[in-house]
Structure 1
Amino acid sequence: MPLHIAVDLVFFTGRKGGSESYVRGMFPAMAAAHDDLRFVGIGNRELAENPPDWFPGEIVPLPVSGENRVTWALAEAFAVAVQARRIKADLLHCPSNFGPSVRLLPTLVSILDVLPIKHPEWVPGGRARGVQLLSRATARAATRIHTISEASADDIVKLLGRPRSDIDMIYLGADPVDLPPRAERTGRPYVLAGGNRMPHKNHARLLEAWTLIPEVERPRLVVTGSHGDDPLTPLVRQLGLEDDVELRGWVTAEELAGLYEGASAFAFPTLFEGFGLPVVEAMVRGCPVIGSDLPVLREVGGDDMVYVDPYDTRSIADAVRRVVSDPALRESLSAAGLKCATRFTWQRTADAHAEVYREMVRNR
């Protein structure tokens, strides 16, 4: 008999980075390999009006907008579980940090990181206290918690109080995107960077590091990931980097894959991550990675990337100069990264989730 899994997609807008990459990558792999599982998405109005082709089931709408953080957060706290029980789901999976405040059916919540608890100073708009309350209520009510690295599992135990035995650690994945053959690189080399513009992504120090690279050696810096007017624009002007930095904004998965392939390196001087999916996305395209010396990135990238002190602009600048100027090093990092990335596929992620789903339903 098939298992009926309700999936909370109220948060989904198509422009939220890692959590959306997770559901877009995993659920097609899940549907392709696990025909005993049936999925229904519980979505916002916009998602129901334009159902995504990657989700293997119908979308049942709630009367909330994915663009309104307050309403969809409240929907996740209360209405999603009610809807899941109404459609007689065997299990509810909430894949983006938040879920019901009361358990009405077996519920798996994916807590991708604990940034609002560990670093409330980085939560914008004065929302830290409210987000912390929702995070703690979610962690208490969840039947089980999924997270995406051992570093994040340790944080959940310490900061949210759930025992390690209640936590399933399953890595995220990345699969190559089919692209036309890459043309020979010509012109000025570039380094790629990305991510939202929250403070922990550390774009300001990255830009400041660029000013420490002598102009004759300075590659272009292409930065993706913003919507509308980019808040980095004033700093680019202030630092006199208008000819060196391109703020590309939001790009499609295909465009991003092409940018990885053409880049001399990917720079990721982040201050905090739950996993560091862009590291794997770069590696799977053969792009050398320069990233922060954090436990979670060591867990994911091992010895196959160049590490920097993310608080030290000179450390960042020196690493960029070293990688961009050394073809042999880039070739070595590219080959090592491609091998490292084979540990992280969406099919592995999906298979591990399927086992968690089945075990939770057996034990309900």
Structure 2
Amino acid sequence: MPDALTVALSVDALGPRLTGIGRYCLQLTERLPVRMGASNISYFRGDHWLDDPQALLQDNWRPERRAVWRRQYENWQRRRKLQGTIVHSPNYFLPEWAERGVATIHDLSVFLFPETHPAERVRAFEQGFERTLARATKLITDTETVRQELIAMFGVRPDRVLAVPLAASTAGLKPDLARLQGLDLRLDGYILCVSTFEPRKRIAELVRAYAALAPAIRARFPLVLAGASGWRNDALMTEIEAAATDGTVRLLGFVDEPTLGALYAGAALFVYPSRYEGFGLPVLEAMAQGAPCLIGDAACLSEVAKGAARIVQPDDLDAFANGLLEALEDASWRCAASTAGRAVADTYSWDKCISETIEVYRSAAR
């Protein structure tokens, strides 16, 4: 890697409770310095520059307080020194001061399903997204599905955008299954869904389909819901709380990484019914830990799963409930799906993702 190639990486997606985009950003901060040299990578969040981006993972992180004029002057000086540096935003938007750079576009759900997003986010995309597209030298998507959507919807030249798949951070990790006991869960004895609680994920449809199963099935396989609270979910949370009264629906909320790995590894079935995704990282993470997967009919989920998951139509309650029941009762399929899922997960790697990302940087620098 030539020393002349330097990168300024936005780390606004990092925080104590990582989403899928945050997990992607964390991998960039951990692996790019190893591949490119630490002195060739700088990090910023808004108008703050950081020496250690992983400090953002701590609950008590606060930006250093400086007078506004001093911060503006220091930022101006730093940006002057960044002449020729590739600015990379892993979270859609290039900063306004970046005249060129690379932006990762994870999905187009704000445009395809605006009703599933907060109004302020929709406005932000309407006001700033196309400005980023115009200034970005190169664009990255997580899947070919979203790459084709970006080309079709916004007229992006195909040579400007490359699909760079993500990978499972859980791959190769040995789970601490003893954590299941602390959650009162049995190995191979529950259904798992890991997701942000927001409308696009179709968690309400999952809860309703699960409620349609026979009581004996629900007693044998409780439904475990893990993930951070999102937005527009008041009705959803009320529905989950009502379903949880008999003890067969368990709402864990956000869980730490070791617990998440154990949950994936111990699940009889992982269910991800999302209406639309840019990648669907939880599916790949579940596969890497051997969980058989039942996924919604979103195109990119099929692309990522490569035939190793069963597909259901979550908007059809009867079909969804039947899909759950058939998967739970078909032990031979679950065994085969576990093996197939691990094999699929092994075809993805963060090393490959980083290598392809660096190639995008090189192309943008030409």
The one-character-per-residue Cα deviations of 1:330-363 (angstroms, maximum 9, x if unpaired) are: 11000000001112111110011111112222x1
Q: Counterpart amino acid of 1:299?
A: E
Aligned partner (choices 230, 233, 239) of residue 235 of structure 1: 239
What's the CA shift string for 1:117-148, capped at 9, x where partnerless? Answer: 12211112454233222212211121111111
Contact kept? 2:244, 2:250, Cα under 8 Å: no
Q: Does 1:289 align with 2:327?
A: no
Match of 1:119, as an amino acid?
F
Paired residue for 1:131, among 114, 125, 134?
125
Q: Are 2:93 and 1:91 aligned?
A: no
Is the aligned partner of 1:110 residue 2:104?
Answer: yes
Partner of 2:161: 167
Q: Is 2:176–2:258's contact at 8 Å kept on the other side of the alignment?
A: no
- Check conservation: 2:168, 2:285, Cα contact below 8 A: yes
Q: How far apart, CA to CA, are the structure 1 residues paired with 2:129 and 2:95? A: 10
User: Percent sequence identity over matched residues?
Assistant: 25
Q: Which residue of 2 aligns with 1:70?
A: none
Task: State the shift of 1:28 in Å.
Answer: 2.2
Residue 195 of structure 1 corresponds to 195
Task: After TM superposition, give the deviation of residue 180 of structure 1 in Å.
Answer: 5.2
Does structure 1 retain, via aligned residues, the 8 Å contact 2:42–2:51? no
- Residue 134 of structure 2 is matched in structure 1 by 140
- Give the Cα separation in 1 of the matches to 2:360 and 2:130: 22
Distance 1:207 1:45 in 2: 42
The equivalent of 1:215 in structure 2 is 215
Deviations 1:229-268 (A, max 9, x none): 9844310244465411111111122211110011111110
Query: Aligned to 2:113, which of 95, 113, 119?
Result: 119
1:5-52 per-residue CA deviation (whole Å, 9 max, x = no partner) reads 100113432335111011122432333344487211102599959741
- C-alpha separation between the residues in 2 aligned to 1:223 and 1:46? 36
Q: Take 2:187 and 2:352, find their aligned partners in 1: how far apart are those partners? A: 39
Secondary structure, in 3 states, of the residue corresponding to 1:40? strand
User: Given residue 204 of structure 1, which amino acid in structure 2 is its aligned partner?
Assistant: A
Q: Where does residue 23 of structure 1 map in the other structure?
A: 25
SS in 1 for 2:300: helix
Distance 1:306 1:92, change over 3 A: same
Which of 306, 309, 313 is matched with 2:313 structurally?
309
Equivalent pair of 2:243/2:249 in contact (CA under 8 Å):
no
Q: Tell me which amino acid in the other structure corresponds to 2:133.
A: A
- TM-score scaled by structure 1? 0.84
- Quote the Cα distance in structure 2 between the aligned partners of 1:292 and 1:118: 17
Query: CA 1:274–1:119 in structure 2 vs 1: closer, same or farther (change >3 Å)?
Result: same
Q: Distance in 1 between the 2:292 and 2:78 partners?
A: 43
**Contact (CA 8 Å) 1:101, 1:141: kept in 2 or not?**
no
Cα 1:84–1:341 change in 2 (3 A) is farther
CA contact (8 A) 1:144 1:167 kept: yes
CA 191–166 in structure 1, closer or farther in 2 if over 3 Å, else same: same
Structure 2: runs of 5 or more not aligned: 67-71
- How many equivalent pairs are there? 345
Please point out which of 248, 256, 259 is paired with 2:263.
259
- Match for residue 69 of structure 2? none
On the 8 A contact 1:171/1:344 being kept in 2, the answer is: yes
Aligned partners of 2:175 and 2:258 also within 8 Å: no
Higher helix share: 2
Match of 1:42 in 2: 44
Contact 2:192 2:271 in 1 (8 A): yes
